[in-house]
Amino acid sequence: MKIRNKILVYFSITVIVLSAISLTVIYVLFSEYREEEFQQLQSKKIEYTIGLIAEFKEMSEELALMLDAQDIHDFYDEKLLIFDSQKNLIFSSLDSLPIHQTTSILTKLSPARQWVETKEGDYDLVGVYRERDGKSYYAISKALDAFGYSKLYFLRNVIIAIFVAISVIVILLSLYLSNIISKPIKRLADRMNRYDLASENISLLTPDTSSFELNHLTERFNDLLKRTHEAFAFQKNAIHHISHELKTPVAVLVSELERTKSYADIDEMKAVLDVQIKNTKSLGEIINTFLEISKFESGEQTHTSEVRIDEVLFDIVQELQLIYPHFRFDINFFPLKFDDNRLSLQANKMLIKQAFQNLMINCISYGSEPNAQLLIDCSQAKRLLISISNIGPPVTPEEVPHLFKHSFRGRNSEGKVGFGLGLVLAKKIMDYHQGTISYSNPANDLNVFKVQFL
């Protein structure tokens, strides 16, 4: 069932049922009050009649006529019977209205039980036991409360009219409120249905209501949208990603294998093969790196340990020199004297190594000179800054905001082989380690990537 219909049904039924119960209670209470009030009037009439009988001592036709004349002004359609202590009839009003429960009521009445009330159709029937001037009397009164019933019927009609009016108003109000409440939800659902998850550009939904719950739902959907978009992008570029990252270790193996051709000595060849075996094992590390990447992409925690940044950088330089022997990386420290502990970080070594390797291969691929500078800045106590700079065609200011996006390649990459994934992965790894990575072009043809750890 639609939420609009649920609001309409639940709200309408609740209010209408409560209204029906309230109006029914009012009607029942008034009905009971009418009955009690009329029976009290009957009791007073009996008391008055017994008083007259006790005063005149003997019953006479004149007394009966006088009482009946008074009855005309008291009740509509009434029958009154008075009995003595032996339950013998001593007075009967002139009305022809029959009382069918006379014997039953007289049997129930006694000094211990002085009041009996019941109904005969719409008539109120009461029996009383009274003592007057040392004598006992039994009385039965049957009368129709025409005035009380007329008020009760009028109240019933008013209550029915009020109930119908309330029901109509509640249904109309429910329709109005359900439209107001459900319209933003329906609008949000329509926007979600129209959203294209396969789109390259992510467009977040903007809240268009003042409702806290809907705004919160929109924010949570946007968070889910970001994660889904990132997961789709990662899956879409998985093959390119793998080929991009395996290219370097495979190239190292090929380079080493080609070098074995120049060795004639068996011992030298064995030594080179040992190195090749070691490098082959490094492919396993690359696979493990992919596993770690998939973990933090899915939001899982990865293993971290104490890592020396300088050792990681020296290892990368050593590996890259086997593939690109013509290219040189110069590593410098600032200041010259500092606490070695400043070079230690709590991080995932495989991921950190992969990030810096991507940045350094970027220098080789896009540099116009066969060298690059690495500066490890330990001058600040709570910050470690690594700058990687080289000479080459710069990234234009318009391209900088897109530099760390999937498959983005700037103008300086024309004619270069690649997938535009290296910087994306480096940025993700740095974000995972609460680090930052940025690009700047402080001078002509000078490209600087800065990585900062806090």
**209 belongs to a structural domain:** no
Are 293 and 411 within one domain?
yes
**162 belongs to a structural domain:** no
| pLDDT tens digits for range 162-178 | 999 999 999 898 888 88
| pLDDT tens digits for range 48-104 | 888 887 776 555 455 555 555 555 445 667 888 989 888 888 888 877 788 888 889
**224 belongs to a structural domain:** no
- State which of 122, 152, 182 marks the end of a domain: 152
- State which of 152, 182, 217 marks the end of a domain: 152
**CATH label of the domain that carries residue 25:** 3.30.450.20
**363 belongs to a structural domain:** yes
Are 369 and 267 within one domain?
yes
Please compute the mean of the pLDDT values over residues 13-20 and round it to a whole number. 92
Percentage of the residues of the chain whose pLDDT score is greater than 90 = 25
**402 belongs to a structural domain:** yes
- State which of 129, 152, 175 marks the end of a domain: 152
| pLDDT tens digits for range 206-228 | 766 667 777 777 788 788 877 77
Are 146 and 259 within one domain?
no
| pLDDT tens digits for range 223-262 | 887 777 766 666 665 555 566 556 666 776 777 777 777 7
Tell me which residue range forms the domain holding 118. 3-152
Question: Domain tally for the chain?
Answer: 2
Q: Binning pLDDT at 50, 70 and 90, where does residue 452 land?
A: very high
**214 belongs to a structural domain:** no
Are 253 and 383 within one domain?
yes
Q: Residue 105: pLDDT above 70?
A: yes
**270 belongs to a structural domain:** yes
- pTM of the shown model: 0.48
C-alpha 287 chain-centroid distance: 40
**CATH label of the domain that carries residue 277:** 3.30.565.10
